[in-house]
Amino acid sequence: MSFTSQHLLGIEPLRPEAITEILDLANAYVEQNRKAVRLDPSLAGLTQINMFFENSTRTQASFELAGKRLGAVVMNMAMQASSIKKGETLIDTALTLNAMHPDLLVVRHPQSGAVDLLAQKVNCAVLNAGDGRHEHPTQALLDALTIMRAKGRLHRLNIAICGDIVHSRVARSNLILLGKMENRVRLVGPATLMPPDVAELGVEVYHDMEEGLQDVDVVMMLRLQKERMDGGFIPSEREYYHRYGLDRAKLDFAKSDAIVMHPGPMNRGVEIDGEIADDINRSVIQEQVEMGVAVRMAAMHLLARNMKNQRGVMV
């Protein structure tokens, strides 16, 4: 037992062994999910509430399916139309839900740190489904599983994370996870889309795709996060695509067997060419979605185990 946490709030506090435990179980779930009959009642009798304060299609669906496949009762709160709009604070909402005795709370919030705060106020397991620019731990775990299965290992790989780094919780969680597993990570993108503390991150930084993609094993593209931009971060989308959009010519600088990833949703023709995104010989974007369900099943299974162990000790 290496993953002993009560919550999954980020990759930062996890030890490499804990990451490996989650990925190993997720890997088993991939095989189970491909079978016609999938009976695993490890969340039977438990209640999972999904609270998404920010729009999401795939992450919410993925968490819902993961919970249902493991036998949990799953409820989706329509947070856009909730009492938040009527002035209720995040904490009040959390306390209200807490009184309903959920076992797992899956939360996405536009503010960095909001999910950590909420976790301190409730007495169930909390999973961070993305908080502002901070972390998106299940995304980094599903990316890691995708890489591990495609490349046969998750260490000593050259990985380029490209595009809108500064606004991306996906980049942050991936950077931390891939670093912990001893890979060489590079960031590629315009200076305006790099975090101010980039020099302290211990990674190589490139502003040119041709140089940045040279000999990499993995090309991870990021969505341009227009909803988090309130100024002129890029001259125009056309110019951005020309310099940083992944097309065949730029991909040719990577290793000939390099895989292409994108967390979705994609802006085709902005950060990635549609033809590359759909190229089944290079793109693993659909695999990422498949791994997402398996990783969320594994994370919730292990959190439920930790919770039962803790409750067992307390009784």
- Residues at the contact surface with ligand ASP, assessed by CB under 6 A: 59, 130, 136, 169-170, 223, 225, 263-264
Report in angstroms how near the CB of residue 311 gets to ligand ASP at its nearest: 32
CB 185, CB 161: distance < 8 Å: yes
Nearer to ligand ASP among residue 21 and residue 263 (C-beta): 263
Across the chain, how many H-helices and E-strands are there?
A: 11, 9
E-assigned strand segments in the chain: 47-52, 73-77, 104-109, 125-131, 158-162, 184-188, 204-206, 218-221, 259-261
Least distance from C-beta 256 to ligand ASP, angstroms?
28
Residue nearer to ligand ASP on the CB measure, 187 or 307: 187
Amino acid at 285: I
Q: Which residue is nearest to ligand ASP (CB)?
A: 223
Minimum distance from residue 130 beta carbon to ligand ASP (Å): 4
Specify the residue, 4 or 55, whose C-beta has the smaller distance to ligand ASP.
55
Q: How far is the CB of 186 from ligand ASP (least distance, A)?
A: 20
Ramachandran category for residue 71: left, alpha or beta (phi over 0 → left; psi -120 to 50 → alpha): left
Nearer to ligand ASP, 80 or 96 (CB): 80
The number of residues in the chain equals 315
Whole-number minimum distance, CB 133 to ligand ASP, in Å? 9
Sign of CA dihedral 61, 99, 47, 4: positive
What are 104's two structure tokens?
A: 């797992």
C-beta of 33 vs 168, nearer to ligand ASP? 168
